[in-house]
Chain A
């Protein structure tokens, strides 16, 4: 059960310790065998900032989000979220076990996956209620009330009791967004959340994310191939290639007048589709 000091709240975006960064990656490296995916990555995100990460497949975008969600372990480097240390790994150090600090910091982060990863045996509303009840110790009634509001917000008020296999991909992804929101994260991670969807279902999901981007102070990190959407909602776009941020800046600049050759080449390839 969290003490009040540990509980997070999307309405107060400022980091707890007075630092003015919500997310920091300092000198973070990650390899699989000889495949050096991240090499000394330095990357900071401000509170409430909406950052889109673009770049070719295999460039390490997902790995960045997964390290934040503690689904991957960095080989080296320091990662903080909201002023709290999530990872602090010295080069050559044995892979750290999950620590209490890590568990508490992780609660500030929510993630939406490309493949939704809803719990297939639970109804939409049960999916959304599960974590608030089990993790935050919320009463079932309150969790139900809030879950209902969240599902209304994502346009699924009519489908509370449907199980995921009965929903379309777009509906499932919107339930997944509501489920992540139920933990009131300060940071939300979206990993190509529309890539697995039929084209006609993409719009509804993007509408929900746009609403979140414009109406909340959540810090948002989006990996996306939807360039127009990224341009519309981001404060900053970061172009990754081979685990390096080759170029970053305001969306207008990156999409209209990129400086870097790799950015130009990548955008040309994506926009041709």
Chain B
């Protein structure tokens, strides 16, 4: 099989549409993970008996099972309980919930990473809880959290490909569809690889720059 540039160009628009779906799913997943992760992190932080334990279990469960298994479970089992959604919506929820567990851990680690002396200084200055969190602790935690989250977001962008298994018409699924109808895989899969790289490589550079800019010059 030899490379056919004309053919490659002819399928590019469809692949770009697939890429757009991947990017949309990634952003939606990020939004869910950020919010849900914050809720999980706060509840675990508050150490409410039972409830906090349930969320600890939630984090372990989500992190301990493959994303593909979670996607299949949501796609095939939820409809049995009368919950029907489009494949895309199901996929976005699965990715968002999955990454919320990691995001919750990142929040927790970021906050715990703030030096104990910072809390003691706020006590010594009698700063109340709210400014302590919003003006002292979180701004320092965020500097450590954002680069870590950025790397997770790039990983999520690539993980969205798993949703091809539940017929979400993202980039990889589009390539598979093209391949099985045209009996050609070289061009679609090569382009898929290049398109992933075209997004994730600059994104990784941005995250690295951000990391350097946010670090304190200690």
Contact = CB atoms under 8 A, between A and B. Distances in A.
B28 to A, nearest CB: 31
Interface stretch (A79-87, A117-125, A265-273): A117-125
Contact of A165 (B125, B135, B216): B216
Is the contact region of chain A dominated by helix, strand, or loop, or is it mixed? loop
B126 A118 contact: no
Interface in A178-192: 179-180, 183
Interface string B116-130: 011011011111100
A121 B143 contact: yes
B121 A119 contact: yes
A217 interface: no
B218 interface: yes
B117 A134 contact: no
B125 A135 contact: yes
A71 interface: yes
Interface in A129-149: 130-131, 134-135
Nearest to B142: A121
Nearest to B214: A121
Contacts of B216: 120-121, 163, 165
Given A117-B120, A120-B216, A166-B217, A134 B135 contact: yes
A131 B140 contact: no
Interface in B129-152: 131, 135-136, 139-140, 143
A74 to B, nearest CB: 16
B165 to A, nearest CB: 44
Interface string A78-120: 0000000000000000000000000100110111010111111
Is the contact region of chain B dominated by helix, strand, or loop, or is it mixed? helix
Contacts of B131: 130, 134
Contacts of B117: 113, 115-117
B125 A113 contact: no
Contacts of A179: 125
A87 to B, nearest CB: 14
Given A113-B120, A115-B117, A131 B126 contact: yes
A59 interface: no
Contact of B127 (A69, A120, A131): A131
A224 interface: no
Given A134-B135, A135-B128, A71 B123 contact: yes
Nearest to B215: A165
Contacts of A117: 115, 117-118, 120-121, 124
Interface string B29-51: 00000000000000000000000
Interface string A168-185: 000000000001100100
Contact of A113 (B121, B127, B143): B121
Contacts of B123: 69-71, 106
A107 B126 contact: yes
Contacts of A116: 117
Contacts of A70: 123
Given A120-B216, A121-B139, A134 B127 contact: yes
B217 A165 contact: yes
A69 B136 contact: no
Contacts of B118: 117, 119
Given A119-B121, A120-B140, A131-B126, 5 more contacts: A119-B140, A121-B139, A121-B143, A165-B217, A180-B124
Question: Would you list the 10 A-B pairs with minimal beta carbon distance, nearest first?
Answer: A117-B117, A131-B125, A117-B121, A111-B124, A134-B131, A107-B126, A135-B126, A165-B216, A165-B217, A120-B216
Interface of A: 69-71, 103, 106-107, 109-111, 113, 115-121, 130-131, 134-135, 163, 165-166, 179-180, 183
15 contacts: A69-B120, A70-B123, A71-B124, A106-B126, A113-B121, A120-B140, A121-B139, A121-B140, A121-B216, A131-B125, A134-B131, A135-B128, A163-B216, A165-B218, A180-B125
